[in-house]
Amino acid sequence: MNEHGLSFPTAAPPTEETTSQRRQRQAFTPRWDLLSIPVVLAALVVGWAGLVHWQGYPAFILPGPQQVWRRAAVLAADGTLWRHAQVTLLEIGLGLLIGLSLAVVLGYVLGRSRTLDRLLSPYIVASQTIPVVAVAPLLVIWFGTGLTSKVLVCALIVFFPTLVSTMVGIRNVDADLRDLMRSLRAGRWQVFTKLELPSALPVLFGGLKLSVILSVVGAVVGEFVGADVGLGFLINLGRGVLDTSMIFVAVFALVVIAQTLYLIVSLLERYLLRWQKG
């Protein structure tokens, strides 16, 4: 009310979300996500089975879910599926180890040195214009159809996303904070572990999530070009003998591997970046 006795409506104060409301909302979201996964999968399987039934596709064109399940059971029972899957997993693991290690080290160096960035970046970018599918045959010729060529393909395909994310993360470090730590006589290792690495982790995990998915693609590309074992080889074998059910089994195994790797990285990100939650 003012001095003339008139009152004016006032804006209501902003309501803050209570702790209990926030917890209920956060608890509801993961529950809904967990419930939606089986619902979506069930809908896809039902639609797939209905399509095969109504269109009358032969098994070598599009097998039904039951046929694929039976084929998966046979391949799992005789050890064929695991024998090929573990080779692909080994290729992915070694490729990630080599590719990520080199990318993080070089990305840190280029992120800190503008001079080296100007010198090397054009060549690094130019190398990424060459499709991995075109490089894979050369690696098979040079290193044979064994493990080495597949690991190198995986390392090449995961290198660039991690390199870029590392460079961006290091360059986003607050320069004032870096100067502050130096004024406090912090050593190079202290600056890296206490400031640069925590600041770069959010961006680095974005590249890492992409890299783990691409590593699966790299392993399959290498096995397509030349291999006698692996899930990519299993797909090629199924194509040659018109065993489409086996192709589906191998593809689903690759999806499970990729999803598992992505989940591991996401859980690691949530754990290491828990300090960001406000």
* Final residue of a structural domain among 27, 56, 85: 56
Structural domain count, the chain: 2
Report the pLDDT averaged over residues 2-25.
51
Does residue 232 sit in the same domain as residue 109? yes
* Final residue of a structural domain among 34, 56, 78: 56
Does residue 43 sit in the same domain as residue 93? no
Sign for the CA dihedral angle at 145, 151, 155, 158 comes to positive
Does residue 83 sit in the same domain as residue 45? no
Q: Please name the amino acid found at residue 158.
A: V
Q: Is position 207 within any domain?
A: yes
The Cβ of residue 58 has, within 10 Å, a number of other Cβ atoms equal to 10
pLDDT bin (cut points 50, 70, 90) of residue 8 is very low
pLDDT of residue 122: 86
Residue with the bigger pLDDT between 51 and 151: it is: 151
Sign for the CA dihedral angle at 67, 68, 74, 77 comes to negative
Instruction: Work out the mean pLDDT of the chain and round it to a whole number.
Output: 84
pLDDT bin (cut points 50, 70, 90) of residue 177 is confident
- What percent of the chain is predicted at pLDDT more than 90? 44
Does residue 229 sit in the same domain as residue 104? yes
CA angle (61, 249, 38) in 5-degree steps: 105
**Residue 209, exposed/middle/buried by CB under 10 A (0-12, 13-18, 19+)?**
middle
Does residue 52 sit in the same domain as residue 181? no
Pairwise CA distance, residues 228 & 175, whole Å: 52
- DSSP, collapsed to helix, strand or coil, labels residue 58 as coil
The Cβ of residue 207 has, within 10 Å, a number of other Cβ atoms equal to 24
pLDDT of residue 144: 87
Q: Is position 1 within any domain?
A: no
Does residue 144 sit in the same domain as residue 239? yes
Report the pLDDT averaged over residues 6-22.
51
Report the pLDDT averaged over residues 64-81.
91
Q: Is position 5 within any domain?
A: no
The domain containing residue 73 runs over which residues? 61-276
Q: Please name the amino acid found at residue 277.
A: K
In this prediction the pTM is: 0.80
Does residue 66 sit in the same domain as residue 139? yes
Q: Is position 169 within any domain?
A: yes
At 239, which CATH number?
A: 1.10.3720.10
Q: Is position 255 within any domain?
A: yes
Q: Is position 14 within any domain?
A: no
pLDDT of residue 266: 92
pLDDT of residue 4: 52
**pLDDT digits over 218-268, tens only?**
999 999 988 889 999 999 999 989 899 999 999 999 999 999 999 999 999
Residues in contact with 160: Cβ distance below 8 Å, sequence separation at least 6, in sequence order: 103, 124, 128
Does residue 46 sit in the same domain as residue 93? no
Q: Is position 111 within any domain?
A: yes
- DSSP, collapsed to helix, strand or coil, labels residue 137 as helix
Does residue 154 sit in the same domain as residue 186? yes
Does residue 150 sit in the same domain as residue 254? yes
* Final residue of a structural domain among 5, 38, 56: 56
**pLDDT digits over 20-69, tens only?**
555 555 544 555 565 677 778 778 878 877 887 787 778 788 888 888 89
Contact at 8 Å (CB) between 39 and 33? no
Does residue 35 sit in the same domain as residue 88? no
pLDDT of residue 94: 96
Does residue 49 sit in the same domain as residue 146? no
pLDDT of residue 28: 47
